[in-house]
Amino acid sequence: MGKEGKEVMMQDSRNAMAMLAASKLAYHIKDGKLPASCRYRIDEWIGGVPFNWYHRAGFTEEVYTFTAGIESIHAGLMGISKDKLIIALRGTDGNDTLQGSILDWLNNFLAIQVPFPYGPGNVHEGFLNAAQSLQEDMVPKAEELYSSLEKKYENPEIILTGHSKGGAVAMIMAAILSEIQEGKYRDKLTVCTFGAPRAGDKIFAENYSRPDYFRYEAFLDIVCHLPFTLQEMELLKRLGPVQELFGECLKLRPYKAVGTGICIYNSKDNFGKYPPDGRNASGETLNSFCAVEQVVRYGAFQIFEGSHEKDYYLLDKSIQFH
pLDDT (tens place) for every residue of the chain, 322 residues total: 555 555 544 556 678 999 999 999 999 998 889 999 999 999 998 888 899 999 999 999 999 999 998 888 899 999 999 999 999 999 988 667 767 677 777 777 788 899 999 999 999 999 999 999 999 999 999 999 999 999 999 989 999 999 999 999 999 999 999 988 878 898 899 999 999 999 999 999 988 866 688 999 887 788 888 888 877 777 776 666 666 566 555 567 889 888 888 878 766 554 444 444 445 443 445 555 666 666 665 555 555 667 888 888 888 654 444 3
pLDDT score for 51: 92
8 Å CB contact between 92 and 56 = no
Separation of alpha carbons 134 and 87, rounded Å = 12
Count of Cβ atoms closer than 10 Å to residue 131 Cβ: 26
- pLDDT of 161 reads 97
DSSP string, 265-305: --TTSSTTT--SS-B-TT--B-TTTHHHHHHHHH--HHHHH
pLDDT at 11: 54
Query: What's the domain count of the chain?
Result: 1
Q: Tell me the DSSP string of 183-202.
A: GTTGGGEEEEEESPPP-B-H
Q: Report the 10 Å Cβ neighbour count for 206.
A: 13
Question: Nearest Cα to 35, choosing from 93, 74, 82, 77?
Answer: 77
d(CA 174, CA 99): 29
User: How far is it between the farthest Cα atoms of the chain?
Assistant: 60
d(CA 111, CA 250): 12
Q: Report how far residue 89's alpha carbon sits from residue 49's, in angstroms, rounded to the nearest whole number.
A: 25
Q: Which CATH number do you get for residue 284?
A: 3.40.50.1820
Residue 35 burial (CB count, 10 A): 11
List the Cα angle 191/195/200 in 5-degree steps: 65
* pTM for this predicted structure: 0.87
Q: Would you state the pLDDT for residue 14?
A: 72
Contacts of 134 (CB under 8 A, 6+ apart): 66, 67, 68, 74, 75, 76, 89, 169, 173
Cα–Cα distance measured from residue 174 to residue 212, given in angstroms and rounded to the nearest whole number: 10
pLDDT score for 27: 95
